[in-house]
Every structure is written in structure tokens, then in C-alpha cells.
A = this chain, B = another copy of it.
Amino acid sequence: MDDGFLQTCLFFTANRLGRAITKMAEEEFAPTGLSPMYGYLIRLVAGAPGISQKELAEKLSITPSTLTRFVDKLEAKRLVERKGQGKTVLVYPTKKAEELLESIRQASRNLHDRYEALLGADAAKRLTEDLNASSALLERH
């Protein structure tokens, strides 16, 4: 069958892996009550209280509008608080978020262990580094 074009297309293969690892990540993060991106957002905020939304969007490589939605949800769950500083919005973790932190870190570790077991430690590390490097190149067009 004439379907080799899929396996040679970076768009397809990158998203294919994205779907597979997202499913796994959602399973591992289930105990935290958050999906993985929200968990990472909380880790960033807890590691730099008062970080601006702009910085958060940049670090997470998502658009500002998406970040607004994320912060909306975490604020509704009383996990972060906004404090407007002029036109920029600063984000702070709540006590509740800090209490969740260890569970989030554990989920990250479990996820890491799980895919490492399947891919091998070396291959996983190399792949992750390659993905970072390639993303950086593509993001600048």
C-alpha cells in the first residue's frame, strides 16, 4: 500500500509521538487532578512566584491566549492568583498549589521512568534533546 509518505513526514511523526506520550502523561498525572501542562505551569509559578504571563507563555511555548485560558482555570481552582502590575499580569502560587507540588513532581518522575523503560535511557535522552534543538530551529521559521 502506498502510505510511506506518512512515515517520512515530520509533521505526521511529531504529532503521532505527541499523541502517544500525551496519553501516557495524562495517565500519570491523573493522581494530581491536573493535566500535564497545568502541572508544569504550576511548577513554573511555584519556582518563580510573581512570574509574568508573558514569560510563562514563552517558557511553555504556547500562545498568550492559550496561557490566559490556563491561568483562568487554575485561578478558578484556587491554585494560582493573579496580581495586575500595569499591563502585565503577575502570577503567584497559592498554599494549595504548594501542597500539590510534590505530587506533581512525582507524576513527572513516574512518566519519565515509564517512557524510559520503553525507549531505553540513552535513546530517550537523545530524542528529547533532538526535539528541543529542532523546535528551537523551527520556531524561528
Contact = CB atoms under 8 A, between A and B. Distances in A.
A47 B131 CA distance: 31
Number of identical protomers: 2
Interface residues of A, number: 54
Nearest to A66: B19
A132 to B, nearest CB: 5
A40 B59 contact: no
A122 to B, nearest CB: 12
Contact of A138 (B1, B9, B47, B118): B118
A16 B135 contact: yes
Contacts of A19: 61-62
A13 B48 contact: no
Interface string A46-76: 0110000000000111100000000000000
Interface in A88-141: 108, 111-112, 115, 118-119, 123-128, 130-132, 134-135, 137-139, 141
A22 B9 CA distance: 11
Contact of A24 (B5, B11, B16, B47): B11
Nearest to A15: B18
Interface string A5-46: 111111111111111111011000000000010001001100
A119 B118 CA distance: 27
